[in-house]
Amino acid sequence: MAEEQVIRSRRIEIDPIAETLEMFTYGLYIIGSRGSDNVNGMMADWVMQVSFQPRLVACSLEKNSTTLRNLRETGVFTVNLLAAEDRELARKFAQPRDASKIQGRSETGSALIYDKMRGIPYWDGEHTACPILQAGLAYVECEVHELIDLGDHVLAVGRVLTCAVLRESTELLTNRILGWSYAG
């Protein structure tokens, strides 16, 4: 007599809050910054305009990020917008500058510092000296208006100094296009 096999599926609990927050539309941007010892570009997706008068934009930064350290030091940053076709450019900024931020890396791997701007064509912003990507869709130069401590991130609110559209595109690069998620 053949034994009857019962296939049991494991139920995976899905956090409904995380699932819903991941449905928000998140564009992918490169936040340019400069510190006394580095020029950095950081991938960010929690970025938005928050005021008309004065014109303010905000981006959320991890508390231990190089970008936040640079903003505290210099008081300026850039927001570089990417088009949907800029996937490969975006991937170059996925790694944190300080490799020790990635849990589970070896001691040798954790000691690495990535120069994410190496090999990336850019120029220094006229008002901020922060990187503006030559291949970007558009950019915004900002002066820090306020840094607000919020949970595990800091909201950097920047007053818009200048901005420009560098080329035309029909679609902004988003997390969904790349299949990435930083939400929930």
**Look-up: residue for tokens 């508390």?**
63
Candidates 28, 25, 49, 43; CA nearest to 157 is: 49
- Which CATH number is associated with domain 26-178? 2.30.110.10
User: Hey, what's the torsion of the CAs at 98, 162, 50, 57, to 10 degrees?
Assistant: 0
pLDDT of residue 68: 97
Give the model confidence (pLDDT) of 133-173 as tens digits. 999 999 999 999 999 999 999 999 999 999 999 999 989 88
Whether residue 59 has pLDDT greater than 80? yes
Checking if the pLDDT of 9 tops 80, the result is no
pLDDT at 99: 53
Instruction: Please write the tens of the pLDDT for every residue from 16-48.
Output: 888 888 877 888 999 999 999 999 999 998 999
Name the DSSP class of 3.
P
Q: What pLDDT is attached to residue 151? A: 94
Here the tokens at position 89 are: 């450019």
pLDDT given for residue 18 in this prediction: 83
Under the banding of pLDDT at 50, 70 and 90, the label for residue 117 is very high
User: Tens digit of pLDDT for each residue in 75-114?
Assistant: 999 999 999 999 999 988 887 666 555 555 566 655 566 7
Q: What is the pLDDT of residue 175?
A: 79
Per-residue HEC secondary structure of 89-121 comes to HHHCCCCCCEHHHCCCCCHHHHCCECCCCCCCC
Positive or negative, the CA dihedral 159, 162, 166, 169 is positive
Query: Is the peptide bond between 54 and the residue preceding it cis, with omega within 30 degrees of 0?
Result: yes
What does the alpha-carbon distance between residue 74 and residue 128 come to, in Å, rounded to a whole number? 9
pLDDT at 4: 47
**Per-residue CA distances from 135 to 12, 97, 138, 179 (Å):** 41, 21, 9, 21
Assess whether pLDDT exceeds 60 at residue 8. Answer: no
CB atoms within 10 A of CB 44: 23
Domain ranges of the chain: 26-178
Give the least confident one: 64-68, 125-129, 174-178. 174-178
